[in-house]
């Protein structure tokens, strides 16, 4: 970074950051009230929206103007209008509705964890009695329920990579470790009719996974494996093992251990598919903020997790005994995909 590119700070920015939680509360409240839904049919006044959502007119007026102040509405001569992109992202009937992601990202679980950031910074990891690695943590039920289309891009990318490879195999048995909503396995199963998916997760989460399997028409090819991914016998061996958005909960050493365990469940000549947030060698917090912000979530929710780099993912796969690791990304995928072979 050159001298002229050094970041600066001003009071407006500091006010904005200090009260960032108010923006979170505004978005969360508006979505809970389904406030944006009636605006899909056209502009409305504060009084109309208050009547529609059954709230106090004064509360609604102040809420609407604040939503306009942060760009989530357009105030137009006493009426309120959806902003560009609003019909797609803010209206609950849209296939790209972002409400699920907000329900999770703006949840009490995540916010309460951030209140103890200073403890996590002091200790280098969570000191909370319950966190992401607590067995049957109810946060993961919300995750499995609410996770929205933002996994679709990476799930589609994985399917595109694996379907041509699976074509010539005698069987297509898949283990999806820490499967949650099951999107990765189910997207693949919808494209590969011979695929049989075994989903491993905590039992309370797998009840939700099964409902997703039914909704997506693959329940007859879905098996469940409830338990702890570090201890439960994995069964198999499988043609493909999926491990998506899991390794960032752990240090490089612990994640490599989990990959070694996963490797024991992959048939010789089979494959592992791993997905995660990553940093690239040329990334900095200035050029690519998201993975660095994600590490804060891991800091407060785990003992040793953080965003790992592309090179670290390759190293972990190699150290766990896999060969030919390749990395894949696409415009639509929020996460990076790694595929490697078991010799
Ligand atoms: C971030 S989610 C990943 C879900 C999904 N694979 C994805 O890509 O979105 C982590 C999942 O790991 C599960 N999990 C965490 N620790 C576990 C453990 N020790 N054994 C089994 N599942 C675990 C959680 O219940 C949760 O569903």
Into which CATH architecture does domain 3-97 fall?
Orthogonal Bundle (1.10)
How much is the pLDDT for 4?
Answer: 53
Q: Residue 148 — very low, low, confident or very high, per pLDDT cuts 50/70/90?
A: low
Kindly state the DSSP code that residue 149 receives in the 8-state scheme: G
Nearest CA to ligand 1 atom 15: 133
pLDDT at 6: 74
Mean pLDDT for the stretch of residues 32-44: 97
pLDDT confidence bin for 151, thresholds 50/70/90:
confident
Average pLDDT over the chain reads 95
Q: Report the pLDDT value the prediction gives residue 156, as an integer from 0 to 100.
A: 97
Q: How far is the CA of 257 from the centre of ligand 1 (A)?
A: 16
Give me ligand 1 centre to Cα 276, in Å. Answer: 12
Q: When comparing pLDDT for 81 and 147, which is higher?
A: 81
- The structure's pTM equals 0.93
Residue 201 has φ and ψ, to the nearest 5°, of -170, -175
Pick from 185, 287, 195, 196: nearest CA to 244: 185
Q: Render pLDDT for 50-82 as a digit per residue (tens, 0 to 9).
A: 999 999 999 999 999 999 999 999 999 999 999
Cβ atoms 298, 120 nearer than 8 A: no
* Cα–ligand 1 centroid distance for 111 (angstroms): 20
Parse the chain into domains and list their residue ranges: 3-97, 139-341
**Is domain 139-341 in CATH 3.40.50.150, yes or no?**
yes
pLDDT on residue 303: 98
Residue nearest (by alpha carbon) to ligand 1 atom 25: 140
Report pLDDT for 184: 97
Residue of the nearest CA to atom 22 in ligand 1?
A: 201
126 CA to middle of ligand 1, Å?
Answer: 17
3-state secondary structure 55-117: CCHHHHHHHHHHHHHCCCCEEECCEEECCCCHHHHCCCCCCCCCHHHHHHHCCHHHHHHHHCH
What is the distance in A from the centroid of ligand 1 to the CA of 38?
Answer: 36
In angstroms, rounded to a whole number, what is the distance separating the alpha carbons of residues 341 and 224?
Answer: 24
pLDDT of residue 161: 97
pLDDT one-digit tens code per residue, 255-284: 999 999 999 999 999 999 999 999 999 999
Best mutation site among 140, 144, 181 for ligand 1 pocket (most ligand atoms within 8 Å of CB): 140
- Token digits for 237? 């061996």
Would you place residue 16 in the very low, low, confident or very high pLDDT band (cuts 50, 70, 90)?
very high
Alpha carbon 60 to its chain centroid, in Å, reads 31
DSSP string over 162-196:
HHHHHTT-S-EEEEEET-TT-HHHHHHHHH-TTEE
pLDDT of residue 147: 76
Residue nearest to atom 12 of ligand 1 (CA): 178
Distance 104 CA to ligand 1 centre (A): 15
State residue 99's pLDDT score: 94
CB-based pocket (< 6 A), ligand 1: 133, 140, 143-144, 151, 178-180, 201-202, 205, 228-230, 244-246, 275
**Per-residue pLDDT averaged across 166-189, rounded?**
97
Tell me which of 141, 175, 180, 198 to substitute to probe ligand 1's pocket, judged by most ligand atoms within 8 Å of the beta carbon.
180
Report the percentage of the chain scoring pLDDT > 70: 98
Does the fold of domain 139-341 match that of domain 3-97?
A: no
């Amino acid at each position: 970074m050159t001298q002229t590119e050094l970041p600066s700070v001003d009071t407006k920015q500091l006010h904005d950051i200090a009260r960032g939680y108010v923006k979170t509360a505004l978005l969360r409240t508006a979505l809970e009230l389904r406030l944006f839904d009636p605006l899909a049919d056209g502009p409305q006044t504060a009084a109309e929206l208050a009547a529609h959502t059954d709230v106090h007119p004064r509360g609604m007026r102040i809420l609407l103007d604040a939503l306009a102040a942060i760009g989530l509405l357009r105030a137009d001569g006493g009426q309120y209008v959806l902003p560009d992109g609003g019909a797609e992202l803010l209206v609950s009937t849209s296939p790209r509705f972002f409400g699920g992601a907000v329900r999770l990202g703006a949840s009490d679980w995540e916010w309460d964890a951030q209140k103890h950031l200073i403890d996590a910074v002091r200790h280098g990891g969570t000191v909370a009695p319950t966190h992401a690695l607590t067995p049957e943590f109810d946060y993961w039920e919300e995750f499995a329920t609410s996770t929205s289309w933002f996994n679709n891009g990476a799930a589609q990318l994985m399917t595109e990579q694996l379907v041509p490879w699976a074509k010539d195999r005698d069987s297509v048995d898949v283990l999806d470790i820490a499967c949650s909503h099951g999107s990765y396995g189910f997207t693949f199963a919808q494209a590969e009719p011979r695929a049989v998916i075994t989903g491993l997760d905590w039992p309370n989460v797998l009840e939700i996974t099964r409902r997703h399997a039914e909704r997506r028409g693959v329940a007859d090819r879905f098996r469940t494996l409830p338990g702890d991914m570090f201890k439960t016998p994995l069964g198999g061996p499988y043609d493909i093992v999926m491990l998506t958005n899991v390794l960032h909960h752990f240090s490089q050493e612990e994640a490599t251990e989990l990959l070694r365990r996963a490797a024991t469940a992959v048939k010789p000549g089979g494959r592992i598919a791993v997905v995660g947030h990553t940093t690239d060698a040329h990334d900095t917090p200035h050029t690519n903020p998201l993975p660095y912000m994600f590490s804060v979530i891991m800091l407060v929710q785990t003992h040793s997790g953080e965003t790992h780099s592309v090179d670290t993912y390759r190293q972990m796969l190699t150290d766990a005994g896999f060969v030919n690791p390749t990395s894949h990304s696409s415009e639509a995928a929020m996460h990076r995909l790694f595929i490697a072979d078991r010799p």
